[in-house]
Homo-oligomer: A and B are copies of this chain.
Amino acid sequence: MLPEPVSCPDWLIAQEAEKRMKSIFQLAEELDIKKEELIPYGSYIAKIDYRKLYSRIKNNPNGKYIIVTAITPTPFGEGKSTTTIGLTQGLGKRGKKVSCAIRQPSAGPLMNIKGSAAGGGLSQCIPRTEFSLGFTGDINAVMNAHNLAMVALTSRMLHEANYSDEILKKRGLRRLDIDPKRVQMGWVIDFCVQALRKIVIGLGGKKDGITMESRFDIATSSELMAILSLVKDLKELKKRISSIVVAYSKTGNPITTEDLEVSGAMSALMLPAFNPNLIQTIEGQPVFVHAAPFANIAIGQSSIIADMVGLKLNEYHVTECGFGADIGFEKFWNIKCRTSGLKPDVAVLVATLRALKYHGADKDSPKIIPGNPLPKEYIEKNMQWLERGMKNLFHHIKIIKKSGLSIVVCINKFQSDTHEELDFVRKFCEEMGIPVAISEHWQKGGQGALELADFVIDACKNNSNFNFLYENSLPHISRIELIAREIYGADSVEFSPLALEKLQSINSKKEFSDFAICIAKTHLSLSDNPLLRGVPEGWQLFIRDILVFYGAKLIVPVAGEISLMPGTASTPNFRTIDVDLQTGKVTGI
Which A residues have a C-beta under 8 Å from some C-beta of B? 39-43, 47, 51, 107, 111, 129, 133-134, 137, 140-141, 144, 147-148, 150-152, 154-155, 157-159, 163, 167-168, 171-173, 189-204, 207-210, 213, 234-235, 238, 261-262, 264-265, 267-269, 271-272, 371, 567-579, 581, 584, 586, 588-589
Contacts and interface: CB of A to CB of B under 8 A. Distances in A.
11 contacts: A40-B41, A42-B47, A151-B568, A152-B568, A155-B567, A167-B570, A171-B571, A196-B209, A198-B204, A264-B577, A268-B577
B269 A568 contact: no
A90 to B, nearest CB: 32
A567 B209 CA distance: 9
Given A140-B134, A570-B171, A154 B577 contact: no
Contacts of A210: 195
A378 B189 CA distance: 43
A26 B419 CA distance: 60
A148 B574 contact: yes
Contact of A198 (B151, B203, B573, B584): B203
A15 to B, nearest CB: 14
Given A159-B570, A167-B570, A198-B203, 9 more contacts: A40-B43, A155-B567, A194-B207, A194-B208, A199-B203, A238-B579, A268-B577, A268-B586, A271-B579
Q: How many copies does the complex hold?
A: 2
Given A191-B148, A579-B268, A579-B271, A208 B201 contact: no
A584 B265 contact: no
Contacts of A267: 578-579
A270 to B, nearest CB: 8
Given A171-B371, A271-B579, A572-B152, A198 B191 contact: no
Contact of A581 (B158, B163, B235): B235
Contacts of A574: 148, 152, 261-262, 264-265
Point out which of A40, A195, A571 has the most chain B C-beta atoms below 10 A from its C-beta. A195
A155 B193 contact: yes
Across the A-B interface, the 3 shortest Cβ-Cβ residue pairs? A195-B209, A264-B578, A154-B195
A198 B200 CA distance: 9
A158 B195 contact: yes
